[in-house]
Every structure is written in C-alpha cells, then in structure tokens.
Amino acid sequence: MTYIVNDACIACKHTDCVEVCPVDCFYEGENMLVIHPDECIDCGVCEPECPVDAILPDTEPGMEKWVEFNRKYSELWPVIITKRDSLPDAEKHEGEEGKLEKYFSEAPGEGG
C-alpha cells in the first residue's frame, strides 16, 4: 500500500502534510502536491493533516489512475519538505468538482 494525492489538492495546495512526512516523498507542482508511490513508506501520518481530504490510501476504489498520476509528476517536480501558505483562493476551491480539468497545471512548483 501507498498513499496518493488526488484532485482535491488542485488549486488549494495545503502543505501541512510535507512537514510530518518522515521520508520526504512529497513533490510540488505549481498548484498541487503529489506523493512518490515508491518512496512512501505507508506510515499514514500525512493523511489526517490534509484539511481537504486529498490524501488517500491506494487501496480505495478508483485510485489506480492516481497512483500513476502521482508517480509521473513526482518524477518531474521538485521535492518539498517545508510547509508554506496555501494558495490564495484555496478556501474558494475546497470541495469543488472537476478541478483536474479546470485548473491542473503540469508546471513544477518551487520545491524546498
């Protein structure tokens, strides 16, 4: 098992999770985070830290596409280990449907 980040993170990008990760397996895009599934040690400490429930175990139904999504972008984006402020309109986008199609950016974040 591993944990993944899904589209609930897009346009919010809360980073409370990166601060508790013991293996630094979070990677930062311009408007979301992902977890490298091969680096995640399945400890689960990140899951309760996410205020928008964007972190889920890969054993949940329909998570296969998110495992591959997380793998792809974790190999392209920089690692992030430092908590930062959420995106400016995060509260406005919490719970919004269709964020992958509307807002997702392949651009890397700053990392760090």
Condensed to tens digits (0 to 9), the pLDDT of residues 32-73 reads: 999 999 999 999 999 999 999 999 999 999 999 999 999 999
pLDDT score of 25: 98
How confident is residue 20, by pLDDT bands cut at 50, 70 and 90? very high
pLDDT score of 31: 98
User: pTM, whole model, 2 decimals?
Assistant: 0.96
Mean pLDDT estimate for the chain: 97
Q: Mean of the pLDDT values across residues 104-110?
A: 98
Query: How far does Cα 74 stand from its chain's mean position?
Result: 10
Residues 6+ apart with CB under 8 A from 33: 5, 9, 13, 15, 17, 18, 26, 27, 80
Answer left, alpha or beta for residue 32, where phi above 0 means left and psi between -120 and 50 means alpha.
beta
Q: Which helix (H) or strand (E) holds 107?
A: none
The pair phi, psi for residue 104, each rounded to 5°, is -55, 135
Query: How far does Cα 35 stand from its chain's mean position?
Result: 6
The DSSP code for 33 is: E
Instruction: Please tell me the distance from the alpha carbon of residue 72 to that of residue 87, in angstroms, as a whole number.
Output: 23
Q: Mean of the pLDDT values across residues 84-104?
A: 96
